Structure 1
Amino acid sequence: MDYVMDIVLKAVLDGNLNFIKQFLDGRPEAVTAQDPDGYTILHMAVIVGHVEIVKELVGLMSEKDLEIQEKTGSTALFLAAASGFTQMAQCMIEKNKKLVSIATHRIGHIPVVEASINGYTETVRYLYTATPLEELTPEKGKNGATLLSYCISGKLFDIALDLLHRCPRLAIVLDIDGNSPVFILSRMPSVFPSGSPLVFWQRWIYSCICVQPTVASDHIPISIQKPHQGLTHRGCLLIPGMKQIYDQKLIHLQALELLGLICKEMHTLGSEGEAKESLVDQALFQAVKHGIFELVMEITKANPNLLWIIDNNYRNLFQCAITYRQEKIFSLVYGLDASVRKLKTAQDRFRNNMLHSAAMLAPSSRLDGISGAALQIQRELQWFKEVESIVPPMAKEMANSYGETPSEFFTEHHRELVKEGQKWMKETATSCTVVAALIVTIMFAAAFTVPGGNNQGEKTAGFPVFLGKKLFKLFIVCDAISFLSSSISILVFLGILTSRYAEESFLKSLPTKMIIGLTSLFISIATMTLAFCAALFLMQPGKSSQVFIPVFLLASVPITLFVILQFPLLYEIFISTYGPSIFNRKQGRWY
């Protein structure tokens, strides 16, 4: 029999369908023969991936033959699911529907679970519709919970939603890896609106797109569709970037609906121990770390007692939110009532209170999104001041286990960042001072060497030749503005260079000086360019129409470059200093 199997295996590897047909016509019993590891010809054909050979073999085998398992318990269908061969799976299931329920010996996975673990989306969709619900219930083992977990991590939210609608208990059951649905969601910030920052035009499109996610029936298994099936005829999805925003919003809505179903099932958790067993506490701290505002809010609304949970360092949710600099989650503290205000005075295992947490250096992942060390230390100061405004007065002078008050703790942890901020400010101011000084020199000289020179006549001696021209007036005005604004810029940047660089200076004083200096420098560059254009047109009055367009286009280049390269920094400094607060002090009662 081993010799026979070797011959057939070679034919399978070569894809020789005709030889296999002829061989099995003469020896039909060989179709169910197994090698020492328990593999049949069908197993081998599936592993190799020859669809036509698999279809031919399935046609020759009985329903019972298709249930043959190799040593580890894998049927041919299981191997097809593990490799994502949907057509093979379909032809086998059409002949024997029981195959979807046959699990392996060691792990106990059924085919749909194996396909989800390996990430074969289309195979999962097909096998899910063919798998009976009773095979996925918690009473039958971990298959349902594992399928749910991998569908969530693979963003197959339509399947996950349908499964939870039909079997809500899976929301709080651990899968084979020891994870729960809410814990997996807590590590996926990108599937929630809070974890998907959009630029202004994307936010506008996002708000205008209407998305209706498919909701499964509670009783009838649905035919799972691709997200765009039935929508591709809409012209809006053909616009560049629109399809991605549509997909993003669809995922957000499905994730929020999934979270809602999970929170609804959490009401059945009767004790803190059950909540821990379902990893709800770990999920909350993970969500705080990743800034998933929606998950933290919805879970604590479903079970307000979870507000009191602490991590291994005895930190509560709000202390962690401060440590990880998650302002949206921290702002929930403004919605607390008197019964839970003790959370504001809580201490961790090192006797650090909330203000000590704010005094620690923010994670690099949060600081990296802020331009320049000066703005980073400003953001750190804003956090410290905000937390200082809500803690009791005694907390401001309370020492931790190391004998440090919050202010001392802040100075200790931010010493290097302050030095970097000082260096960044000085280097920026020095570079801008050189540019401003050049402009001052040029515009001062231009004021006394005007275009066309001066008249030499007795009555008009010393007066500019183009004194009566409108373009000359424009030249003089632009020259004066450029000279004065660059002078202001120099003085402001000198003020930055001679500042004492105390911590408090980075909060308002230094950023304000930088705003004034950069704005003055921009005005001086723009007016200098206009003065140059006006002088050039004055010197060639007869050819102004030929010269105007190319000169105007070239003159716009330096202004445009400044806007592209420096305006984002200027805008960020202005918004960070004088824009709306990153904290929502108007947060109302939310639980």
Structure 2
Amino acid sequence: MAATVSPIANLQLLNRHNYEDWSFQVKVYLLAKDVWDVVEAATEPPTPEDGEAEFRAWRKNNAKALLAIRTCCGDDTYPIIKGITTAKAAWDVLAEKLKPSDSEEGTQVKPSCETDATYTHNINVKYAPLYASVKRGDWNAAKEFIDRHPEALTHRGSSSGGTALHEAIQRKQLHIVEELLKLMTEPDLEIEDDLRFTAFFYALQKGMAAIVAKMVKKNKSLVTMRFTNVAGNQTPVLVAHTLGHWEIARFLYSLTPIHVLTQDNSGRDGAQLITECFFQINKFDIGWDLLQKCPKLALTETYATDRSPLYALAGSRFAFSSGVPLRFWQRWIYNNIHVQQPQPAPINSDVCVNFEELEDDKRNPRDLISSVTGFFQGVVKNLLKLLGIHDLHEIRLHHDRILQILPLVCDVATRRNLDSKQTAFVQKAIFRAVERGQVEFIKEMRKANHRIPLTMGDESDRSIFHYAVECRQEKVFSLIYGLSEYVRNAIVSTADKFNNSILHAAGSLSAHLNHIQGAALQMQRELQWFKEVEHIFPPQFLEVRNETEQITARELFTKNHKKLVKEGEESMKGTATSCTVVGALIVTIMFAVAFTVPGGNNQDTGFPIFLRKKFFRVFLISDSISLLSSTTSVMIFLGILTSRYAEDDFLRSLPTKMLLGLFTLFLSIAAMMVAFSSALFIMLEGESWVSIPISLLARVPIASFVWMQFPLFLDIFMFTYGRGIFDKKCRAWE
């Protein structure tokens, strides 16, 4: 049954039998529209609380993707997603309902209840036995029919309007495909089905490496034939790369004339290939070779409107080490990994993959030595993955490769003969790098052309430092300390076209606070930003008012952070209240224990019976420490509850009180457990088989407190007394 065509870009409508072809076409279309991210996102979508700008951007992209998916659904499939409001949920539901299982994929397209007679309903009765034989995988019957009817080899009579070769590939009947290829001529391989796809397209789609190699060997023009029904009329090498079939892509690239990727279709195929290479770990060989042969592709528009490979590189979160959040121990391992690698070698026809040998190697068992070697290599690799070292090595290798490519890309971006569109691409890429905090990219651009980062402004006349403050990218803003005082003052005293200074940008409410735990720490971070920018801001401009609201930067800060101050107050009071209750309970217990000591008192002297025992002294000291520290913690938390909660209190006063309160509460809990354990040893002297296990269990409350509260304690300490959010030592532009 041939699929009808949807109103969008001539994409086919989804029915219950063409999910694989439909999903590929729609995915490519969504990639071209730059909205595929909302469909494949692994995290929850943002909410208005995460930031109004981020939420609006997601909502817009979600609406675009959902509209495209709904429009491409037929009458029998649209009810499946009716009422679903997110593109990701709609895509997942369609995949769950319509995607054939592995067992079904190679044997049937129609429902299992259909007979061969039903299957041939839309097929010419004369050729029905041929397609039924292909469906069953019976080559002898198919060959006998073709011998009697040679024209059947090229007859377009399959369920999708294709030839027997189309049908065999879609049903993964590999032995029939190989036999059909022996009988078909070069022009036969260019026959299209009702969807205007050749059999070669389906072989690419399913990753049939050996079949692709055989088809190209028979008809070399297949590598340059564009798939006109794919968004953008893409080349086979780009389709293979998009689908993740890397070896097939390398093979096709080695045979594709360079002009097909760099000149035909405005060079979009080459630009798209380079863009996708930037997002794949250790898949740079094609992109590197293309950039060397045609550097201008770095500023060529891809299939995503107004996007270029330079923009993709600047926006990739994991392209540079500054964009990868690592813990201190991961950072230590990362810095000590030494990767020795040559520059990626250019690809040519001499290094293409021999797929026939590859397939033969998969079929034949390896010898004993190679099997044992592979086993131990697998064990070592899995162990390194378990420890996280393998992933860190891959990340480091990825970053080193990017740093090899970066100078070439930046050199192209800083040439003087750029047209207006290329200049716009450079501007967008730089501000994208600022938004993502890619300080390595900005440094390299500065190295290639000393004027670009300082003189360039966006559509609102904001400099990169203005935008860095707005996006809260401290690593980028820290570069300002590497400038002379005169230049620094000139930059920070400039304003955008609405007369918003760089201090006004610091006074806006950031949409990049989700990584900070709790509203109180978020407010502290916002204050630190404002104070740091205010510190380098010329005093004579502090009272400058903007044009939109006619308020100063400080007034703007107060206005925008009223809600965050209230949330921070509630957060601090909630934590203080809970800790006060715990501290009060410990005070009550430890005070009572001080007068009901283990073993009681001597009736004659009034002194404790176990006064001379070593563990009794430990008991008394730990009880006193627990009582005093818990009392102190209660007083500190009461001080937090009665604080005024002014804006500046969140900078140091309130965090310091919270630090002291948590520390003294932890000390009281630890001392209480020590007192309990020492009392247990006194009462059960000589019964170590009981007292020792119980004493070990007494460590559980201490460990649980550390596990749950230490991250908060460490964050407060680092934010309040650490080096600050600006690394003034990292100020070199080299």
Contact in 2 for aligned 1:186/1:292 (Cα 8 Å):
yes
The one of 229, 234, 253 aligned to 1:109: 234
Alpha-carbon displacement from aligned partner over 1:504-557 (angstroms, at most 9, x marks no partner): 1111111111111111111111111111111121122232x2233212211111
Please name the residue that 2:539 is paired with.
393
Q: How do residues 123-202 of structure 1 correspond to structure 2 at under 5 angstroms?
A: 123-138=248-263, 141-142=266-267, 143-155=269-281, 156-178=283-305, 179-202=307-330
Alpha-carbon displacement from aligned partner over 1:209-265 (angstroms, at most 9, x marks no partner): 33345633357467489xxxx999487533213332222222222233333331132
Please name the residue that 1:480 is paired with.
624
Please name the residue that 2:472 is paired with.
325
Q: How do residues 170-249 of structure 1 correspond to structure 2 at under 5 angstroms?
A: 170-178=297-305, 179-213=307-341, 215-218=343-346, 220=348, 223=351, 233=377, 237-239=381-383, 240=386, 241-249=388-396
Which runs of 5 or more residues in structure 1 are unaligned?
A: none
Q: Compute the displacement of 1:74 (Å).
A: 4.3
Please name the residue that 2:677 is paired with.
533
Please name the residue that 1:20 is paired with.
142
Report the Cα distance in structure 2 between the residues aligned to 1:267 and 1:117, rounded to whole angstroms: 29
The one of 51, 56, 74 aligned to 2:174: 51
Match status 1:583 vs 2:696: no
Report the Cα distance in structure 1 between the residues aligned to 2:456 and 2:286, rounded to whole angstroms: 32
Q: How do residues 535-574 of structure 1 correspond to structure 2 at under 5 angstroms?
A: 535-543=679-687, 545-574=688-717
Q: Compute the displacement of 1:2 (Å).
A: 4.9
The one of 487, 497, 505 aligned to 1:357: 505
Contact in 1 for aligned 2:480/2:488 (Cα 8 Å):
no
The one of 183, 186, 202 aligned to 1:79: 202
Please name the residue that 2:29 is paired with.
none
Please name the residue that 2:103 is paired with.
none
Contact in 1 for aligned 2:528/2:725 (Cα 8 Å):
no
Q: Compute the displacement of 1:581 (Å).
A: 1.6
Contact in 2 for aligned 1:80/1:88 (Cα 8 Å):
yes
Please name the residue that 2:356 is paired with.
none
Contact in 1 for aligned 2:478/2:731 (Cα 8 Å):
no
Contact in 1 for aligned 2:254/2:349 (Cα 8 Å):
yes
Q: Higher mean Cα deviation, 230-239 or 493-502?
A: 230-239
Which runs of 5 or more residues in structure 2 are unaligned?
A: 1-122, 354-372
Q: Higher mean Cα deviation, 183-192 or 125-134?
A: 125-134
Alpha-carbon spacing, 1:113–1:437, altered in 2? closer, same or farther (3 Å) = same
Structure 1 counterpart SS, 2:559 = helix
Report the Cα distance in structure 1 between the residues aligned to 2:206 and 2:272, rounded to whole angstroms: 18
TM-score by structure 1 length?
A: 0.91
Report the Cα distance in structure 1 between the residues aligned to 2:382 and 2:347, rounded to whole angstroms: 36
Q: How do residues 462-501 of structure 1 correspond to structure 2 at under 5 angstroms?
A: 462-501=606-645
Q: Compute the displacement of 1:413 (Å).
A: 0.5
Report the Cα distance in structure 1 between the residues aligned to 2:554 and 2:265, rounded to whole angstroms: 57
Alpha-carbon spacing, 1:480–1:104, altered in 2? closer, same or farther (3 Å) = closer
Alpha-carbon spacing, 1:69–1:304, altered in 2? closer, same or farther (3 Å) = farther
Q: Compute the displacement of 1:35 (Å).
A: 5.7
Counterpart of 1:161, as a letter, is W
Report the Cα distance in structure 2 between the residues aligned to 1:445 and 1:140, rounded to whole angstroms: 85
Structure 2 counterpart SS, 1:109 = coil
Report the Cα distance in structure 1 between the residues aligned to 2:336 and 2:252, rounded to whole angstroms: 35
Alpha-carbon displacement from aligned partner over 1:335-390 (angstroms, at most 9, x marks no partner): 23445752212212321101110011110xx2121111111110000000111111
Report the Cα distance in structure 1 between the residues aligned to 2:203 and 2:621, rounded to whole angstroms: 79
Please name the residue that 1:273 is paired with.
420
Alpha-carbon displacement from aligned partner over 1:29-59 (angstroms, at most 9, x marks no partner): 4323446998433233334433222211111
Contact in 2 for aligned 1:216/1:222 (Cα 8 Å):
no
Q: Compute the displacement of 1:274 (Å).
A: 5.0
Counterpart of 2:490, as a letter, is K
Alpha-carbon displacement from aligned partner over 1:464-523 (angstroms, at most 9, x marks no partner): 111111111111111111111111111111111111111111111111111111111111
Please name the residue that 2:569 is paired with.
422
Percentage identity across paired residues of the two chains: 44
Contact in 1 for aligned 2:322/2:440 (Cα 8 Å):
yes
Counterpart of 1:54, as a letter, is V
Counterpart of 2:539, as a letter, is P
Match status 1:342 vs 2:486: no
Q: Higher mean Cα deviation, 91-100 or 484-493?
A: 91-100
Report the Cα distance in structure 2 between the residues aligned to 1:212 and 1:311, rounded to whole angstroms: 39
Counterpart of 2:502, as a letter, is M
Q: Compute the displacement of 1:420 (Å).
A: 1.0
Contact in 2 for aligned 1:443/1:482 (Cα 8 Å):
yes
Report the Cα distance in structure 2 between the residues aligned to 1:489 and 1:39, rounded to whole angstroms: 79
Contact in 2 for aligned 1:112/1:127 (Cα 8 Å):
yes
RMSD: 2.8
Contact in 2 for aligned 1:171/1:261 (Cα 8 Å):
no
Alpha-carbon spacing, 1:135–1:71, altered in 2? closer, same or farther (3 Å) = farther
Counterpart of 1:145, as a letter, is A
Contact in 2 for aligned 1:86/1:126 (Cα 8 Å):
no
Please name the residue that 2:521 is paired with.
375
Report the Cα distance in structure 2 between the residues aligned to 1:161 and 1:306, rounded to whole angstroms: 25
Structure 1 counterpart SS, 2:460 = coil
Report the Cα distance in structure 2 between the residues aligned to 1:117 and 1:471, rounded to whole angstroms: 70
Counterpart of 1:176, as a letter, is Y
Structure 2 counterpart SS, 1:411 = helix
Q: Higher mean Cα deviation, 508-517 or 102-111?
A: 102-111
How many residue pairs get aligned? The number is: 581
Counterpart of 1:430, as a letter, is T
Report the Cα distance in structure 1 between the residues aligned to 2:323 and 2:462, rounded to whole angstroms: 23
Structure 2 counterpart SS, 1:418 = helix
Contact in 1 for aligned 2:576/2:638 (Cα 8 Å):
yes
Contact in 2 for aligned 1:15/1:53 (Cα 8 Å):
yes
Contact in 1 for aligned 2:616/2:679 (Cα 8 Å):
yes
Please name the residue that 1:508 is paired with.
652
Alpha-carbon displacement from aligned partner over 1:95-140 (angstroms, at most 9, x marks no partner): 2333212224574432112222334334323322333434323367
Report the Cα distance in structure 2 between the residues aligned to 1:210 and 1:221, rounded to whole angstroms: 32
Match status 1:405 vs 2:552: yes
Contact in 1 for aligned 2:275/2:313 (Cα 8 Å):
no
Alpha-carbon displacement from aligned partner over 1:113-170 (angstroms, at most 9, x marks no partner): 2222334334323322333434323367433223223333455333322332343332
Report the Cα distance in structure 1 between the residues aligned to 2:277 and 2:140, rounded to whole angstroms: 40
